[in-house]
Chains A and B, each alone.
Chain A
Amino acid sequence: MADGTNNDPRLAVEISGIRFNNPVIGASGTFGYGLEFADLIDLNRLGGFATKGLSARPLPGNPPPRIVETHGGMLNAIGLQNIGARAFVEEKLPLLARYDTRIIANVFGYSDDEYIEAITILNDGDGIAAYELNISCPNVKEGGIVIGNSPTAAARLTEKAKLASSRPLIVKLSPNVTDIAILARAIVDAGADCISLINTIVGMSIDVNTRKPRLSYGTGGLSGPAIRPIAVRMVHEVARAVDVPLIGIGGIASAADALEFIIAGATAIQIGTANYYDPTVTMKVIDGLTAHCESHHIATIKGLIGSLE
């Protein structure tokens, strides 16, 4: 297993010239810096993973409590705590070099300039396959979702990021908008190579005894199986609106879940919250996709992308 020789060629997919051994990618914020999983799964078998959102400078994040479980999901208000782009390049990338998996650097800033600064730092790093612009984090008061809510602001940042970037640019959309297709079109027109969706949905949970929000930040981002149907619908809508490859995200925990997104129009998928309650879920989904190809006589999973009848 360890040498990656059992990669099934039927599962290979491509996004903006980057080949992924399979469409299974660990989602940002749920996969740390990848290394945390080295003892639990075979990183060489993983299609890829997106790092925790990296900013130009380290961020401390929000005060606890930061997570609360809800039915079929969880709310989080981590607030983008991260080690910073420089530390990622210097401390984590060299350790990741020995694994054969695609590394997507997820990027965050409080302003356009901070996003560009982070990308400029990351341009120095070896072994990053692509950038994923997080314009959709609901747990910070500036940047993130503020940009992600406005097609004009999102397009402006995409254009600047594309210019600054030495690598393919994925833009990650927020579901907390009225019409996600409008946003997707604006971002693709501005030069995005790929779109990933969805980020978490703004939610709230209240402790009825104290009559206070359960999260110190007040609201949080909902993730997990509870959001999957919303995410599938949005991938379907965006697939009809734009021509770039899509990465589907939201509540995926099995091969069947992943296939829903692929059939709806996603080229690859990311697995988030499921990694917490089942740290080996990515391997199970890869195995499940292989089994599906087997039993349905599918020559390549690419044939299933956007195959909704």
Chain B
Amino acid sequence: MIETIATADSNRELAPGYRLLTLDLKEDVPVRAGQFAMLKPHASLEPLLRRALAVYRVHSPRRISFLYQVLGRGTEALARVENGGAVEALLPLGNSWPDAIGANQRVIVVAGGIGSASVFMLCEKLASTGVDTQLLFGARSEPTAIGCGLEDFRALGLPLTLTTDDGSLGEQGFVTGALERELLRSGRPRSTIYACGPWVMMKRVAEIAVQFEARCFVSLEAPMGCGFGVCVGCVVAVKTRGTNEYGSYKRVCTDGSIFPAESIRWEVDPIAH
């Protein structure tokens, strides 16, 4: 984990409301797939707190990109960073996607909306190691699919199923429907599912994983104060009691952001309440 001031090399719009920020770092930073950074424009106090963004791509140990959706104050402030602008960054943070295990490894990656940012490096790795992988990519519409990096994912050459809520591209419907169909079709025993997306989607993915007896890992989001474990603001409720020092909650920033789906108490949503 390092605290640094990085330089924005570019910060361009991929689709309305979706941007790609590329940072040049002053030193080499090793990042594993699924890790994130806490970012905000340098010397700006609006907003006060940094925002967590998944590391989307590592171009070199000193050059990394973030894919983000402009939602509110934090991401709006980041969207205003100009080329050459300074960004305060704490990284790399969080755990990373665990390896699929077992003989007949089969992997299904489920990317929901901007959750795609957290799984791109995982997909890169899966594509290069030749693991039997299905990529299920869900977005609201055609422009949001582009904004969520669809072209980069396509370039990896993995078998890809695309869904949009409005049917403007790929199959119409939710990505969780595609997941059920994929599991039904292939009767995939010993599959490992990796998923990142909105809470409701992950909750559904977790249910499907139970139904089909698949291993399932999810990358979760929670409002973060610090990103490195001190504020205890980012917790999610877990089923396992007393197995860690924090009892019935775990911190998304340092215990996650990736968790086994079956460990989460899905009825306690850490964002909408």
Q: Which A residues lie at the B interface, using CB under 8 A? A: 29-32, 36-37, 39-40, 52, 58, 60-61, 63-69, 71-74, 76, 78, 81, 83, 87, 91, 210, 212-216, 224-225, 273, 275-280
Contacts and interface: CB of A to CB of B under 8 A. Distances in A.
A67 B225 contact: yes
B90 A279 contact: yes
Given A31-B230, A210-B272, 4 more contacts: A40-B3, A61-B249, A81-B247, A275-B226
Q: Which among B50, B224, B237, B245 has the greatest number of chain A C-beta atoms within 10 A?
A: B245
What is the size category of the interface that chain B forms with chain A?
Answer: 35 or more
A277 B236 CA distance: 21
Interface in B1-19: 1, 3
Closest 8 CB pairs of A and B: A67-B233, A32-B230, A64-B270, A276-B226, A60-B247, A276-B225, A83-B245, A36-B230
Given A58-B245, A61-B232, A69-B49, A76 B3 contact: no
Given A60-B246, A81-B246, A216 B273 contact: yes
A36 B235 CA distance: 17
B231 A276 contact: yes
Contacts of B232: 52, 61, 66, 78, 81
Interface in B107-125: none
A277 B50 contact: yes
Contacts of B224: 67
13 contacts: A40-B228, A52-B232, A60-B246, A64-B235, A65-B273, A66-B235, A67-B223, A67-B233, A69-B49, A81-B247, A83-B246, A213-B273, A215-B273
A29 B73 CA distance: 25
Q: Which among B45, B90, B225, B247 has the greatest number of chain A C-beta atoms within 10 A?
A: B225
A88 to B, nearest CB: 10
A61 B268 CA distance: 14
Contact of A279 (B45, B226, B247): B226
A236 B95 CA distance: 46
Given A60-B248, A74-B48, A81-B246, A67 B3 contact: no
A158 B247 CA distance: 30
Q: Which among A30, A32, A279 has the greatest number of chain B C-beta atoms within 10 A?
A: A279
A65 B270 contact: yes
Contacts of A67: 223-225, 231, 233-234
Contacts of B271: 65
A224 B226 CA distance: 13
Contact of B228 (A36, A66, A71, A216): A36
A76 B272 CA distance: 16
Interface in B256-273: 268-273
B1 A69 contact: no
B117 to A, nearest CB: 21
A212 B271 CA distance: 12
A58 B233 CA distance: 17
Contacts of A31: 230
B90 A81 contact: no
A9 B175 CA distance: 63
Contacts of A73: 48
A277 B40 contact: yes
Contacts of A64: 222-223, 234-237, 249, 268-270, 273
